[in-house]
Amino acid sequence: MKLTSSFFISLLVLSGCETPQRLERPKATATLSCKVPTITPLPETKEAQEKGGIEISVAPASYKPLLEKRIRHMRVEPNIGESLQISLWLASIPPDQRGNYVFVEETTETSVKPTPDHLQFLIKINNKLSRVFRGAGTVVQFNVGGKLLAVDQAGYAQMLQAIVPPRTEHQLSISGPAVDVLPDNATIGLFLYDVVTAIDAAGNVTEKQNYEWYFTCVTKLAEETVEVAPSTRKLIPIQSLRQ
């Protein structure tokens, strides 16, 4: 009988020492997507074109998906338990600093977008003239699927502001329409019109030429699976508030 009692006591002690396994909740995920283009020159398009004394070459950018995270704060009222914790914490700091904090719900928003997010081309200008080449007055156009698209002049400001000394090269970039407006499959034309290609001894423009490049554009949907972080409720400095 004594042995039996000892056995049960030992069993109870061992049972009480066991740590129950903790079940972890599966992490929430989401699938995000964006259009990513592949730009390829058409066979009949020469990358480098020389007219008069100016050689211009064009190379399209490479695109890839880019994940971006953004933290947002929304002011909320704390519950009873949170209010107690806030009161205890605020009691530990000087009274004149207690108004510098706000209680918020913090969420992290994740998005994916192509980078670069606009059509982009690297331009190389080789000035073989005996005079300075100036890009001012050049007309830049983008044709997508047979339609001219209006673009912000800031996208090709580097071309208009280009100043290339004689017998030197200069690189710049030109940006066009946003990637998200491109069709899934189209021909893209990049046109540079009224480019000065000849100057007389007095510096007067004697010749202007047009340059044209054509590319195929194929867009595909790029997907990224991301972890969805749960929202948190916290006290933060008011200067850290993000909306």
Q: What is the pLDDT of residues 163-187, one digit of tens each?
A: 999 999 999 999 999 998 999 999 9
Q: Is residue 207 part of a domain?
A: yes
Q: Is residue 124 part of a domain?
A: yes
Q: Is residue 149 part of a domain?
A: yes
- Domain total in the chain: 1
CATH (domain of 205): 2.60.40
Q: Is residue 201 part of a domain?
A: yes
Q: Is residue 84 part of a domain?
A: no
pLDDT at residue 7 is higher than 50: no
Model-level pTM? Answer: 0.73
The domain containing residue 201 runs over which residues?
A: 36-63+117-220
Q: Whole-angstrom Cα distance, residue 102 to residue 236?
A: 6
Q: What is the phi/psi pair of residue 8, to 5°?
A: -70, -35
Contacts of 83 (CB under 8 A, 6+ apart): none
Q: Is residue 109 part of a domain?
A: no
pLDDT at 14: 33
Tell me whether the omega of the peptide bond preceding residue 116 falls within 30 degrees of 0, making it cis: yes
pLDDT at 54: 96
Q: Is residue 75 part of a domain?
A: no
pLDDT at residue 203 is higher than 50: yes
Q: Is residue 137 part of a domain?
A: yes
pLDDT at 24: 52
